[in-house]
Amino acid sequence: MFKIGEFSNLSRVSVRMLRYYDKVGLFKPAKIDEFTEYRYYSAKQIPQIKRIILFRDLGFTVNEIYELLQADNDVDLIAALKNKQSQIADNIKLAEDRISRISSIIKSKEKDKFFMNADVRIKEIPPYKVISRRKNVESYQNETDLWAELGEFCLKNNLEPSDAPFAIYHDAEYKESDIDIEVAMPVSELKPNQNDFVFRETEPVPEAASVLYTGNYEGIDDSFFFLSKWIEDNGFQLCGKTRQVSIRGAWNEPNPDNYQVEIIMPVKKV
């Protein structure tokens, strides 16, 4: 039997961690002297503490490690490991997304890409004959799925755009989920609807404020802020559904930094 310090050296696990695992009931000494209360460990326990350290380094919590140690067979162990693998992959994707957003912000600041001199125009939006796909989606990122569906439909039906495609956001407020988005491509003539794909004529907009945004989509929120502030500062108020006209995107521009979107907000003078 070995004292806690000796076992610490043999197992390469600190005394502090051994005491902690004892306290939480994860790894108990083989024996505790009833008079001195010294902890004693056995060399036979080294494989178990090594497994605990391995699971800890793989990101398992104390409770999860306890359950893993109780697993009766390799099937349960492999299932738990695959589940943790999936969690780690999700966390990596989330971290990569955050890194990408940070990089975009840094790039924006380095280029001094502010909107102080952005050119806001007041314009009239005519009605358009369009083929559109409208759906409630989980997040704004899912808009790309709608564009993919519409693109595939147009390709199968030999439909060519007569003008730049655009998205209409039908919700009256910002929503975290269940977002009502319609993607539309102008066409030369209306045809019969096909399931979820609708041919229709959009409503004209007598007056709208618009601004051009160029760059990766992750930085587009600054344009919305700038345009909304301009509308307020110049005595207008919103009176309709916001649109985004896709001038340059993934389908015709390989570099995301060169994407170009026109943001259009219907307004009226207060």
Q: Which residue has the tokens 């307004």?
A: 267
**Between 76 and 4, whose confidence is greater?**
4
Alpha carbon of 107 to those of 114, 175, 257: distances in Å?
12, 28, 10
- Residue 146, Cβ density class (10 Å: 0-12 exposed, 13-18 middle, ≥19 buried): buried
CATH topology of domain 2-70: Multidrug-efflux Transporter Regulator; Chain: A; Domain 2 (1.10.1660)
Q: What is the pTM for the complete model shown?
A: 0.58
Q: What is the pLDDT of residues 178-187, one digit of tens each?
A: 999 999 999 9
Domains of the chain, by residue range, sit at 2-70, 121-269
CA 147 to the chain's CA centroid: 18
Q: What is the pLDDT of residues 88-110, one digit of tens each?
A: 999 999 999 888 878 776 766 65
**Highest mean pLDDT of the ranges 2-16, 157-171, 244-258:** 157-171
At 231, is the pLDDT very low, low, confident or very high (cuts 50, 70, 90)? very high
Q: What is the pLDDT of residues 192-227, one digit of tens each?
A: 999 999 999 999 999 999 999 888 877 787 788 888
Are 262 and 247 in contact by the 8 Å Cβ rule? The answer is yes
Into which CATH architecture does domain 121-269 fall? Alpha-Beta Barrel (3.20)
Please state, for a pLDDT cut of 70, what percent of the chain lies above it.
95
Task: Give the H or E element holding residue 78.
Answer: helix 74-110
The C-alpha atoms of residue 122 and residue 159 are separated, in whole angstroms, by 31
Q: What was the pLDDT predicted at 190?
A: 96
HSE-up (13 A, CA, CB side) for residue 51: 17
Q: By C-alpha distance, which of 241, 255, 262 is closest to 165?
A: 262
The C-alpha atoms of residue 269 and residue 122 are separated, in whole angstroms, by 11
